[in-house]
Amino acid sequence: MAIAVAGPEIERLIQLLARLPGLGPRSARRAALHLIKKRDALMTPLASALQVAIDKIEVCKTCGNIDTQNPCTVCTDPRRDPSIIVVVADVADLWALERASATNGRYHVLGATLSPLDGVGPDDLTIDALVARAHDPAVGEIILALNATVDGQTTAHYVTDLLQDANVKVTRLAHGVPVGGELDYLDEGTLSAAMRQRTLF
Amino acid sequence: MAIAVAGPEIERLIQLLARLPGLGPRSARRAALHLIKKRDALMTPLASALQVAIDKIEVCKTCGNIDTQNPCTVCTDPRRDPSIIVVVADVADLWALERASATNGRYHVLGATLSPLDGVGPDDLTIDALVARAHDPAVGEIILALNATVDGQTTAHYVTDLLQDANVKVTRLAHGVPVGGELDYLDEGTLSAAMRQRTLF
């Protein structure tokens, strides 16, 4: 794809950068050049930050979060409510909920959503571990924070079925108008869900 | 900007990735997560590729190109025509010309274009070194491959003036219709330049 114009070491760097999401071959070249020009200010710190991450980052054995401690910061935080488990598909979703300070509960990362077309079945998700956690008497509510897509909702139904024997309340995120959103630009499904689930003003 | 949701090591990695051109805070988070998930396949190779680049890459003392050897591969390639020096503003432009196999000559990287508004003056560019190279009797032509912007053309005029004492032909890139371009979408300046500089069919 990229024609070798620089030495093989630079080409290798460009090829690896191009595999990052959001960077194509052209922007990877620009990024490599930027790094080389800012060797002390950026390239050296980035190399060592990557090495630190390689050495230290682990997957939390309780919830599946990514952290430098195991169990992770969220699981060991005594201020978090142990009775709530928020189920997410991916660590990125966990991060998004944390940025929003959306919950005081703890998490469970499934790792993916069910997707028969992509060959993702129940065994590829950490559903067994979730069911085991749900049977802990300290847990009272499981919040399904899954994408409002077909795969996400299929996964939500599947998980809900398996949680029926556990003594927990299973909830899911509300559908509705995004904050700052304009009605004119919303799809019909969102609008009618927002109308059905309207709340007292 | 980014709220700390992961540990400080991951936040540091995200912040450094966000300083790459083409990655904002959000895509830097996605890139960090991608790297962490692909620790062996991507993060470790990237860390070592960066370290190799840090250790090996130098600026060519002849032309200003970036390479792992000094003088660079282009300057030492015996198949390149030593009588032609292609003047570019930046290494990125050199790479672009090399990808296009646009020239068989050697290069001279100015490092920037003159830009009084940004405080970039002649002393910030490697113009003295270019004038010295131009006085080499082996050099017959200096091709100014500078951006067709105000700054690029100002730089071209400035460099041309300083090269008057050297016994070289000074040329510049042609203006015209981009290959694959549609006339309807071209600006007037490009169209009239393409008309003036028309060639025999």
The tens digit of pLDDT for each residue in B117-161 reads 999 999 999 999 999 999 999 999 999 999 999 999 999 999 999
| CA atoms lying within 13 Å on the CB side of residue A96 | 14
* A19, A47: one domain: yes
* A70, A168: one domain: yes
**Tally of structural domains, chain A:** 2
- The per-residue pLDDT of chain A, averaged, comes to 91
A 10 A CB-CB count for B123 gives: 8
Residue A128, domain member (yes or no): yes
Residue A92 contacts B where some CB pair is shorter than 8 Å: yes
Residue B107, domain member (yes or no): yes
Q: List pLDDT tens digits, range A154-190.
A: 999 999 999 999 999 999 998 888 888 888 888 888 8
CA B23 centroid distance within chain: 20
Residue A1, domain member (yes or no): no
Say if CB B26 and CB B17 are below 8 A apart. Answer: no
Residues from chain B contacting residue A73 (CB–CB below 8 Å): 7
Q: What does each C-alpha distance from A6 to A9, A14, A32 come to in angstroms? A: 8, 10, 11
Residues from chain B contacting residue A10 (CB–CB below 8 Å): 53, 57, 66-68
Structure tokens at A112: 């993916």
Residue A51, domain member (yes or no): yes
Please answer yes or no on whether A27 and B21 come within 8 Å at the CB atom: yes
- A6-10, A137-141, B93-97, B129-133: which range is least confident on average? A6-10
Please answer yes or no on whether B46 and A92 come within 8 Å at the CB atom: no
- Report the complex ipTM: 0.79
Please answer yes or no on whether A22 and B22 come within 8 Å at the CB atom: yes
* A34, A78: one domain: no
CATH number at residue A147: 3.40.1360.10
Residues from chain A contacting residue B5 (CB–CB below 8 Å): 94-95, 98-99
* A160, A92: one domain: yes
Q: Sorting pLDDT into bands at 50, 70 and 90, what band is A12? A: very high
Q: Which of A16, A33, A101 to mutate to test the interface with B (most CBs of B within 10 A)?
A: A16
Residue A151 has pLDDT above 90, yes or no: yes
* A146, A112: one domain: yes
Contacting residues for A64 by C-beta, under 8 A, at least 6 apart: A91, A107, A108, A109, A110, A111, A126, A129
* B74, B94: one domain: yes
Task: Give chain B's residues under pLDDT 70.
Answer: 1-5
Residues from chain A contacting residue B56 (CB–CB below 8 Å): 9
Q: Which residue of B has its CA nearest to A46?
A: B16
Contacting residues for A24 by C-beta, under 8 A, at least 6 apart: A18
Structure confidence at residue B104 (pLDDT): 93
Structure confidence at residue B169 (pLDDT): 95
* B107, B161: one domain: yes
Q: Which domain holds residue A141?
A: 66-172
Q: Which of A17, A20, A77 to mutate to test the interface with B (most CBs of B within 10 A)?
A: A20
CATH number at residue B37: 1.10.8.420
Residue A69 has pLDDT above 70, yes or no: yes
Residue A54 has pLDDT above 90, yes or no: yes
* B120, B71: one domain: yes
* B18, B90: one domain: no
Please answer yes or no on whether B68 and A44 come within 8 Å at the CB atom: no
Residue B118, domain member (yes or no): yes
Radius of gyration of chain A (CA): 21
* B42, B93: one domain: no
Q: Which residue of B has its CA nearest to A20?
A: B31
